[in-house]
Amino acid sequence: MSDATSRPSEATPRRRERRAAQRLRQLPWRDIRVPYRPYEILSADQVEAIHLASLKVLEEIGMEVLHEPTRALLKAAGVDVDHASQRARFERGFIEQAIAKAPPEFALRARNPAHSVTLGGNRIVISSVGGPAYISDLDRGRRDGTYTDMCDFIRLVQSLNIIHQEGGGPVEPLDLPAESRHLDLYLAQITLTDKTWQGWALGSGRAVDAIEMNRIALGLTSAEMAGTPAQMTIVNTNSPLRLDIPMAEGLTAYAGAGQAVVVTPFTLSGAMSPVTIAGALAQQNAEALAVIALAQTINPGTPVVYGGFTSNVDMRTGAPAFGTPEYAQAVLAGAQLARRYRLPFRSSNVNASNAVDVQAAYESAMSLWACFSGHVNLLYQAAGWLEGGLTASFEKLILDAEMLQMMAAFVTPMVVSEESLGFAAMVEVGPGGHFFGAAHTLERYEDAFYQPLLSDWRNFETWREAGALDGTRRANAIWKELLKNYEQPPLDPAIREELEAYVARRKQEIATSK
């Protein structure tokens, strides 16, 4: 599948890339750490009350586990399993002992070692949108996702330094066969980026293919791969309190291979969880703890991330809402819960807007501030997510990259030193003067402040004469410029050949088994 693999590598000189990057003023790739104390909205007592409520849920209501082998495994581990009702009830001692086996932080290896990431502590790993069915841009509108769109989007994810990780396919390539399109996605992720990437957990086949193809890309044996987390996937519960068969299979494959699992209940308050945010969090916590405990039962030490995805619905229509005040509260409270268990935490950059407009911006900003101030470790759906996750948007990708860069600059600590306090500059300039020409200014002005990717700070007249382009239309020009300047990262031809052979073989197997 060819667009990704046969497109000639645009081996333009580094100089051109630097020039383009300079014109577009991107921040360089960087680890992001938040040096400030986490912003917290719950007291320790409130955290404990939610914790205890969730343990009571697991003991008395339990989870419905649809996958028979998983029920058998839990029963063997001492969990109270009723096969007739498919219900597993967990004692708190089991949960607490199991989750204690999860590492508080872990690294994920990228094909380009400079792009490897670490999850945990005060670090934030930024992962792009994954999963939408629709794609949109200003020129072509909203439409079904295609393989070409998917590849272009992945190229942009590679080009934007602020994005650490590809998020599992920006859009479904609906023009490819459903049963094998994951193979085309994985090949594109490996060949078009050299960052870490997420695979799909939907069933054993898709999970194993992601792990195997990543193993080939990294040139590792299976044993080496088991000791080197590189692959990551999202495992969602079917809230309320149900784990379905495809997700259980995916979890089993990932945990079994020592790869990372982001356990994320999708607890929409008022629909799939109680209409109170405290209740939704208690249920989120119950589901997350149960599945994290399951992962540790499958393979102790499995790298896991506690995922929170509690938002609310519009109670008049039932429509999901994102980037709401309740969402921000749920992010911050979820991060507090995850810290209680010493687990990395995942949340997301979400919005419910149908257009890349002010609503998309302020709902995303609400999400991002909660994520950054609350010390989210995996910031998923961070760039490109629109319309409650139904659509991946090229302009939203650029808007998000700007907001993410701004947050990254915000968490870069202010330097307070004799030099930076600038007393000598104030003496030099004196009352009523100006600092443009001061020595203190001239020494520092080039890198003094964050320089934007998208914001336009020209005065009104200049801006109007230049076409009066609003931010969304400027974003449209930026993604096209980035795509034009995209350079495919190098890959050993032998590895590429092995990957292509793997894909061909698996497609054959899938076709035969139909």
**Interaction with its own copies in 450-489: which residues (CB under 8 A)?**
450-451, 454-460, 463-464, 468, 470-472, 475
Maximum Cα interatomic distance, the chain, rounded to a whole number of Å = 83
Point out which residues pair with 123 in neighbouring strands.
33
Q: Closer to its own copies at the Cβ: 72 or 409? A: 409
Establish if 315 lies at the interface with its own copies (CB under 8 A): yes
**Residue from 435, 489, 496, 500 in contact with its own copies (CB under 8 A):** 435
Q: Does 421 sit near its own copies (CB under 8 A)?
A: yes
User: Beta strand pairing status for 304-307 and 345-348?
Assistant: parallel
Return the residue matching tokens 């819960």.
337
Name the residue with tokens 């040096």. Answer: 35
To its own copies, the closest distance from the beta carbon of 396 in angstroms equals 9
Is 184 a binding residue for its own copies by CB under 8 A? The answer is no
Among 70, 259, 296, 312, binds its own copies (CB under 8 A): 312
Number of residues that bind its own copies (CB under 8 A): 125
Instruction: Identify residues 51-90 at the interface with its own copies (CB under 8 A).
Output: 53, 56-57, 60-64, 87
- Closer CB to its own copies, residue 227 or residue 431? 431
Nearer to its own copies, 192 or 271 (CB): 271
- Give phi and psi for 137, each to the nearest 5: -150, 170
CA separation for the pair 487, 495 (Å, rounded): 19
Beta carbons of 94 and 81 less than 8 angstroms apart: no
The tokens describing 204, both together, are 């054993």
Contact criterion met (CB below 8 Å) for 277 and 310: yes
| Of positions 13, 432, 467, 493, contacts its own copies by CB under 8 A | 432
Minimum CB distance to its own copies smaller for 13 or for 418: 418
Task: Give me the least distance between CB of 420 and its own copies, in Å please.
Answer: 4
What is the footprint of its own copies within residues 368-407 (CB under 8 A)? 369, 373, 387, 390-391, 399, 402-403, 406-407
Please report whether residue 438 would count as binding its own copies according to CB under 8 A. Answer: yes
CA-angle at 407, arms to 350 and 377, nearest 5°: 65
Closest to its own copies by CB, 29 vs 410, is 410
Element at 143 (helix H, strand E): strand 141-144
490 preceded by a cis bond (ω within 30 of 0) = no
Phi, psi at residue 272, to the nearest 5°?
-100, 5
148 touching its own copies, by CB under 8 A: no
Cis amide bond preceding 13, omega within 30: no
Which is nearer to its own copies, 449 or 512 (by Cβ)? 449
